[in-house]
Structure 1
Amino acid sequence: METIEQSIIPGLPDDLALRCIAKLSHGYHGTLECVSKGWRDLVRSEDYSCYKARNGWSGSWLFVLTQGLKNRWVAYDPDADRWHPLPRNIAVQDGWDHHGFEYVCVSSCLLVIGGCYVSSSSPREKTVVTGDVVRFDPFKKEWKRVASMRTPRAHFACAAVSGKVYVAGGRSAYSRLSNLVDSSSAEVYDPVADRWEELPAVPRPQMNSSGLGLSYKGSFHVMSDQVGIAEQISSGVFNPLEMSWSTVVDNWPSLMNYTVQVMKDDRPYTIVDSGLGGNVIQTRDTYEGEWYSVGSVPCVVVPNHPGESSPVVGFGFAALRDELCVIGGHVRIKLDAARFQIVRSSVMMVCNPLDRPLNWRETKPMCIPAGGLIIGCVSLEESSPP
């Protein structure tokens, strides 16, 4: 650290004071900067961010992108119970919409990977598929371009497994007749070396388009988005240790609308429509592989919108620490017997799935203007013990 004329905290050695402040989560930075000019300069310094990064004190974050935010993510800090807008994604230029990208957290950073760019002003403009990758560093609070994928792709399978990012399949181009051209390639990204390497091709053609990626039991699972409820289906599984694919017949729920979240104990959870006007949390039996319900997701009460509300749709679903999070979405409010109103929700509800019955609580709502349909959400867990 550079010499500071005054002590960071009077009565404490600067190295101990630095350690105390650096232990606080990023959610408190606004408050810290208001203490004094010295603290503000400290929190914004390169030395401070490097010190936190060196000790692995990234904190835990939930990154969320909602429709209409023009590729500007927001981040939730559970320690401070606060939401913060991130700088706008530098990869997306004005006049273009970004679709079909993937996102993952690895090495204490958020990665936004690939996708396609569609002109928002000229629908006839050619759709561009990209291999671009940008990284958001929560220590420096900035986006940076990193190594691009070897194969540009959109709507592909992606997951982080053991500190590396695996991608497979997807759509690599658009033909003149607007038919999608699928890619059977797969590759892996090493964030430490900032390098992509090719992997053996995806073994089954039907898994190439719009496959869904999942990190489960130390392997990269690629599942079709056409999976049926409670059906035995085949998925491609890549074993990083053996560097090979295998086909596994297994039981997975419908993934058309929602995703599977895997907790630290390798137990997966998902949300399904019960068919009775409500959403239900399901988990999987460790031994039998069958899915069963553990509780329902409550309806959202929207402030200033009296009336009976229907279950949320278009929400985000994520695991953060030991809790499951249901974020945002659209709520249908019943005004009378014949009229309804669709309202954007900025509410986040969390519960510990091991507590039965499920005990849901609301966190602080997303910061304005975030809310409504969730395009992406992913959690970042602190890698080193506090």
Structure 2
Amino acid sequence: MEEEPVGDDREYQAIIPGLPDDLALRCLARISHGYHGLLECISRKWRDAIRSMDYAHMKARHERCGNWLFVSTADGKGQWDAYDPDADRWHPLPTVPTDCDESFCGFSCVSVCKKFLVIGGCYLYNKRSLAINDVILFDPFKKQWKRAANMQTARTDFACAVISNKVYVAGGGNSSCTKGLSSVEVYDPCADRWEDLPPMPFTLIECFSISYGGQFHVLGKREYNIQQDTYLIFNPVNQHWCIMEDLQLFCKLTHNYTTIQNGNIYTILEEGSIKKVDMDQKVWCTLGEFPAVVLPKHMRSLKPFTFGFVAFQQYLYVIGGMTLKYNLDTLSYGIVKLNSNRFCDMRKLPLEWKDARPMPIRSGRILGCAVMEE
């Protein structure tokens, strides 16, 4: 460990001896953010440099945001943790600015223009929900949260997607519109402004998006407690909505277990297979099986649920969740919370699952999961 100079000897010390400080900062910027905690332990000079605004501005100027996988869990009480795949390390993000300590869910989260956004959602008060229109933004360069412009309509459980560096939201519900919303908005992160778009032909609740091909694809329900989804497509160029009658290809998709990478749609079906859609042939191709949970001193593998599923670069990640374990002593089932972090290379078939560094805590239900790539 480097000894810290004292007294007048601390007037100046190069970040890296023999290099100008601006060049030293550029060298440090090439090191993945997952190692920053270790780098700050090298010396006070390195700690101050990595936490400085000069360092943040330099990283932003060269767009070296790093690769991030953001995860929020039901047990985290609004806390977000970030996984760095390059360093194979987790680290907690600063506390999200909020005026409420109640349970929070129903939000959407996306990355756009090197920023991570948590949009809308609802707080739960005594089994009643209060939908909000808040937008909270995380800056990976400054490693700080701040508030962005609010949506024009409070909403929860809505469709959300990034298209051409803009964020589109549609549908969902709030306490004022119990039958759902038809309203649609788009957010420009450069101008920090929301604008209304032509509404959907009808209200949709419990929505999600599988957007690809430069269009906003929305799946949702017209009423609560119904099984059949409705499928709409919005074209941002002519701002026209189209109702898709053929749901056969997408009828089994679910919000939490569907992810998109490089225009390809990946999903986990109920029976446990992982599939990829072939848009040319309009069919699903089986890639492999979902990784089962193996617990110590338990005779059989178990099926997880409420986990996070996301594509990151050429990999598929399955994170956290829960499983049911049968206890022979009490002759009853109990919930086991998981902190596992497993991945596979989607290009190599059949899929071969590997273990990455587990989450810092056993997660329970994953509420939000999104990636940011440099």
- The AA in structure 1 aligned to 2:139 is D
3-state DSSP class of the match of 2:34? helix
Extract unaligned runs of 5+ from structure 1.
Answer: none
Pair 1:267-2:267 in alignment: no
Q: CA deviation at 1:273?
A: 1.8
Partner in structure 2 of residue 216 of structure 1:
212
Does 2:155 align with 1:166? no
Secondary structure of 1:41's aligned partner: helix
Kept in 1: contact 2:325–2:334 (CA 8 A):
yes
- Residue type at the aligned position of 1:269: Y
**In the alignment, is residue 75 of structure 1 matched against residue 82 of structure 2?**
yes
Partner Cα distance (1:92, 1:253) in 2? 39
Is 1:5 aligned to 2:1, yes or no?
no
Would you say 1:315 and 2:312 are equivalent positions? Answer: no
Residue 58 of structure 1 aligns with which residue? Answer: 65
Partner of 1:90: 97
Do residues 184 (structure 1) and 182 (structure 2) align? yes
1:31, CA displacement in angstroms? Answer: 0.9
Contact 1:294/1:358, CA 8 A, preserved across alignment:
yes
Distance 2:99 2:214 in 1: 33
**Contact between 1:233 and 1:249, CA under 8 Å: does it hold in 2?**
no
How far the C-alpha of 1:305 sits from its partner, in A, is: 5.0
Q: Which residue of 2 aligns with 1:240?
A: 236
Deviation at 1:335, TM superposition (A): 4.2
Supply the distance in 2 between the matched residues of 1:306 and 1:183 (Cα, whole angstroms). 46
Is structure 2 residue 36 aligned with structure 1 residue 40? Answer: no
Asked if 1 retains the 8 angstrom alpha-carbon contact of 2:221 and 2:228, the reply is no
| Structure 2: distance between partners of 1:112 and 1:145 | 10
Contact 1:65 1:375 in 2 (8 A): yes
Matched, 1:142 2:144: yes
Deviation at 1:234, TM superposition (A): 5.3
Q: Secondary structure at the match of 2:76?
A: coil
* Residue in structure 1 matching 2:283, options 265, 270, 290: 290
8 Å Cα contact 2:211/2:218 also seen in 1: no
Partner residue of 2:373?
381
Provide, for residues 18-67 of structure 1, a one-character-per-residue CA deviation record: whole Å limited to 9, x for no partner: 11101112111111101111110000001101111111111111111111
Matches within 5 A, 1:11-22: 11-22=18-29
Task: Tell me whether 1:353 sits opposite 2:373 in the alignment.
Answer: no
Q: Is the 8 A contact 1:65 1:73 kept in 2?
A: yes
Amino acid at match of 1:110: F
The one-letter code matched in structure 1 to 2:343 is V
Matched, 1:49 2:45: no
Q: Secondary structure at the match of 2:316?
A: strand
Moved over 6 A (4+): none
Does the Cα contact within 8 Å between 2:229 and 2:251 map onto a contact in 1? no
What is the TM-score of this pair, normalised by structure 2?
0.89
- Which residue number corresponds to residue 118 of structure 1? 124
Return the alpha-carbon distance in structure 2 between the equivalents of residues 155 and 240 of structure 1.
22
Partner residue, 2:4: none
TM-score normalized with structure 1 length: 0.87
* CA distance 1:299–1:162, change in 2 (3 Å): same
Question: Which 5+ residue runs of structure 2 have no aligned equivalent?
Answer: 1-10
Query: Where does 1:297-308 land on structure 2 (aligned, <5 Å)?
Result: 297-302=290-295, 304-308=296-300
Identical positions, percent: 44
2:221–2:229 CA contact under 8 A, matched in 1: no
